[in-house]
């Protein structure tokens, strides 16, 4: 059962740099680390969060159409990475 690719319309077309920074900052904070250890029993790398923030900041000089296209591509690539690995859809596929 191969997942079907989503259309362009299903991905966000904007990205908030403030939200990306807040997410990355929280991930590296004591509270963020503690929550992740409590939930999953291990620490996590925050590099994906910081990568999102850097990506968002790199969009500042682009045209609106260029930003939209890059953001859609970014979200599509992130979803493809999640779908390639083990995720909750594996459980629901069995059910």
Domain presence at residue 41: yes
State whether the Cα torsion 74-79-80-86 is positive or negative: positive
- 44: alpha, beta or left? (left if phi > 0; alpha if psi -120 to 50): beta
Give CA separation, 76 vs 5, 9, 32, 86, in Å.
Answer: 9, 11, 26, 17
pLDDT of residue 5: 54
Query: In the chain, how many domains are there?
Result: 1
Give the pTM.
0.74
Structural domain span for residue 38:
17-84
- Residue 7 located in a structural domain: no
Domain assignment present for residue 73? The answer is: yes
Q: What is the pLDDT of residues 12-69, one digit of tens each?
A: 999 999 999 999 999 999 999 999 999 888 888 999 999 999 999 999 999 999 999 9
Task: Report pLDDT for 3.
Answer: 46
């Amino acid at each position: 059962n191969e997942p079907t690719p989503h259309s362009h319309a299903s991905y966000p077309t904007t990205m908030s740099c403030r939200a990306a920074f807040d997410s990355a900052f929280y991930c590296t904070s004591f509270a963020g680390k503690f929550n992740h250890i409590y939930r999953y029993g291990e620490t996590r790398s925050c590099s994906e969060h910081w990568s999102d923030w850097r990506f968002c900041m790199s969009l500042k000089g682009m045209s609106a159409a260029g930003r939209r296209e890059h953001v859609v591509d970014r979200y599509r690539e992130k979803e493809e990475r999640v779908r390639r690995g083990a995720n909750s859809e594996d459980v629901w596929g069995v059910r």
